[in-house]
Chain A
Amino acid sequence: MKLSNMTKFWISFVLAIPMLIQMLLMPFHFMFPGHNEIALVTTTLIMGLAAFPYWRSAWQAFKKHAANMNTLIALGTSAAYFYSIFAMLTHRPVYFESAAFVTVFVLLGDAMEEKMNHNASQALSALLKLQAKSAQVSRAGHFITVPVAEVKPGDLIRVRPGEKVPVDGIIVSGSTDLDESLVTGESMPVHKQSKDHVIGATLNTTGTFTFKATQVGADTLLAQIVDFVKQAQASHAPIQNLTDQLSHIFVPIVIMIAIITFVIWYSILAAPLVKSLLFAISVMVIACPCALGLATPTALMVGTAKSAKMGVLIKNGEALQKASQITTLVFDKTGTITKGEPAVTDIIGKPEVLQVAASLETASEHPLAQAIVRRAGSLQLSPVTDFKAVAGKGVTGQLNGKDAAIGSTKLLTEDLPIELKQEADTLQQAAKTVLYVSLNQKIIGLIALQDTPKNNAKAVMSTLAKRGFKTIMLTGDNPAVATQIAQQVGISEVLAGVLPTDKSAKIAALQAKGEKVAFVGDGINDAPALSTADIGIAMGSGTDIAIESGDIVLMQDDLAGVVKALALANKTFNRIKLNLFWALIYNTLGIPIAAGLFVSLGFVLSPELAGLAMAFSSISVLLSSLALNRMKPAPLA
């Protein structure tokens, strides 16, 4: 039979309509002529089409000493159906509609579940479909359009405005702004120029550029993300262990409760046979543990896919659960809290200091030099002649015919004016690197540089503190520099001078004190610390993911991602707990009601209603999981 559950549902539903009309007319004492015969025929068709697969599956399971939701459905529907045939032959009231409607509702639940599961898993493969279909590849000097599958590493590819970058690579010529939101979650376009990495499936906005393909096919970043998330979706969360254990014994216990229900009603309370039977059937139908089984995997599936779209990759259910229990966050300093490269912090002296320094440094590739040039920005620079780099000291050259130099004290030939000396001392005490600038044999000023905190570091730390997290900075740098940075961003605790090999020991010490520790690092140098921590959060560079090292991988080199990741993990895990709670409540409340415990209060659950409630419980859990798609990153406080 190749009918989908949805088709089967509609056919069964149409077949059940006469019984529905009959049920509605019943209070008016109107009976269709031959209504029992009609019910027999339509119900038999429904059983054959829709209920039989459950019976067969239940029988196969029974032979293996196993019981599952199909067992309950099969027992409930077959009991109602065969009792009704017996009742019809012996001229008693029939209950075909119970068998028919339970089947219809169970099918509805199954069909909806298939559809929603499909939707949830679709979200992920939709990512892959966003790749470009073709690429303009240079072949024999001409750019020709080829399918993206034919692109090989090393190919030169041209991308024009409005086109998608087909594969991962490095820009060879041209510059542009790329919309990388699809892959990294970064909403602002990112400027790219020669030697920058580009990511496949990102959107080119303004310029035309040519790049060399480095990764294609399954090696591209997008393919790796999809793979990573797929694994997360198939994973288990430790909280599931409870339901796993429960699922082994749940169904047989429900069968026993149903038998007890029947026996008590019939033998002890002397209820009619059919009434006792209907209570027992209701118990089996409502106790279907579908919602319990769906609670965790569906939330995990939606939560991890949604997080991935926001640039937060969560490795598995265990990482998700642990991330929701974190108390302390330990940050690596260089490159995590700070930019990882020096920037000019102070310029002291004559107005032309920066112009002179930048003019000299344009030709140098030293990181300090580049920082000065960056700071100069659009300043008009003078041409330099006679440029000389003095290793370990600085650079010298001629600017408009005058001698100019920039460098450390070792480069100086003349004495330092006393006021500059004082300034330099203060700056050095603040753990800054000081460079002296001289023009015409005279020191005109100094420039101080430091590895500065990322722009939003302070906001991130205060947000984390407000949410009750303890923040600690861990670094191999000297205490003076570390304390300086910690003060700037608002971290209270500093562990400085820690050798790379001792970082994981420091984390273990925190754990010994009962803290649940997350370590945030760049994922390249910090592998031991990342794996020792309860949760390792690896900050990505945006071009390759440190998949192996982190439990959570941030696609963007942005500290705000830490706040986002913790919030997303928390929301998803809370949703799992909520789902499990609902699913358990359904059963713990549903079973006694179905068993007729509250009959005296007027609460009666017919098998049809039990079937509807069962379908509704699965659907509500699914909807609750799908609602995770609406998660939004909370703003920084």
Chain B
Amino acid sequence: MMMLSQWLVLIIGLLLIAFTAWWFFGKRHSVSQVADRVGSEQIGRITVAGGYSPETLVFKRGIPATIKFDLRDSTACLSEVSFSQLGIKEKLNRQAQTEISIPTDKVAEFNFACGMNMFHGKVIVK
């Protein structure tokens, strides 16, 4: 015979599972941001803290583009960013922002991820 506390745990547990599924798997549009125009350049800023914000950065085609990564996280994996299509793998630095230039000569999408490929982001050139 189950006690009240056992029933309670069962119900709360099921609710938590439902919440986990809804929170992590529910359809959500990712936050995208258009990069700032600075003079003849475009500069996008991405804050690295438990992931990338914004996760999607949009650049205009044909204008030199740079991303500045601002590392605010001290876990091992996020301290590295890699753009596998561009062959870029850079260590990020908590003291200074890391700049990565993105080719904007044609319309493209570049995915980037942390060192262990657990956190993902995207750069869109259009």
Interface residues of A (CB under 8 A from B): 1-2, 5, 53-54, 56-70, 110-111, 113-114, 117, 230-236, 240, 243-244, 247, 249, 251-252, 255-256, 259-260, 262-263, 266-268, 270, 289-290, 293-294, 297, 316
Contact = CB atoms under 8 A, between A and B. Distances in A.
B101 interface: no
A230 B74 contact: no
18 contacts: A60-B49, A63-B50, A67-B24, A68-B50, A68-B51, A70-B75, A110-B76, A114-B76, A117-B115, A232-B87, A234-B84, A235-B84, A240-B117, A252-B24, A263-B9, A266-B6, A267-B2, A267-B7
Contacts of A58: 50
Nearest to A296: B117
Nearest to A289: B118
A245 to B, nearest CB: 11
Interface in B78-110: 78, 80, 82-84, 86-89, 94
B29 to A, nearest CB: 11
Contacts of B87: 230-232, 234-235, 316
A270 B25 CA distance: 31
Contacts of A61: 50-51, 119
B21 interface: yes
Contacts of B21: 252, 256
A53 B75 contact: yes
Contacts of B17: 256, 259-260
B82 to A, nearest CB: 5
A53 B73 contact: yes
Nearest to B1: A270
A65 B6 contact: no
B26 interface: yes
A251 B50 CA distance: 14
A230 B83 CA distance: 12
Contacts of B73: 53, 56-57, 60
Nearest to A255: B20
Interface of B: 2, 6-7, 9-10, 13-14, 16-17, 20-21, 23-26, 28, 49-51, 53, 55, 73-78, 80, 82-84, 86-89, 94, 115-119
Nearest to A5: B76
Contact of B51 (A64, A111, A244, A255): A64
Contact of A293 (B13, B25, B77): B77
A5 B2 CA distance: 46
A293 B77 CA distance: 10
Contacts of B20: 252, 255-256, 259
Given A256-B21, A259-B16, A267-B6, A293 B116 contact: yes
Contacts of A57: 49-50, 73-75, 78
A234 B53 contact: no
Given A65-B28, A252-B20, A270 B6 contact: yes
B118 A267 contact: no
A64 B53 contact: yes
A5 B77 CA distance: 12
A61 B51 CA distance: 6
Nearest to A8: B74
B122 to A, nearest CB: 13
A44 to B, nearest CB: 19
Contacts of A70: 50, 75
Contacts of B7: 267
Nearest to A235: B84
Given A57-B78, A297-B82, 8 more contacts: A53-B75, A65-B23, A68-B50, A68-B119, A69-B77, A113-B76, A117-B80, A270-B2
A260 B13 contact: yes
Contacts of B75: 53-54, 57, 70, 110
Given A64-B53, A247-B118, A252-B24, A267 B13 contact: yes
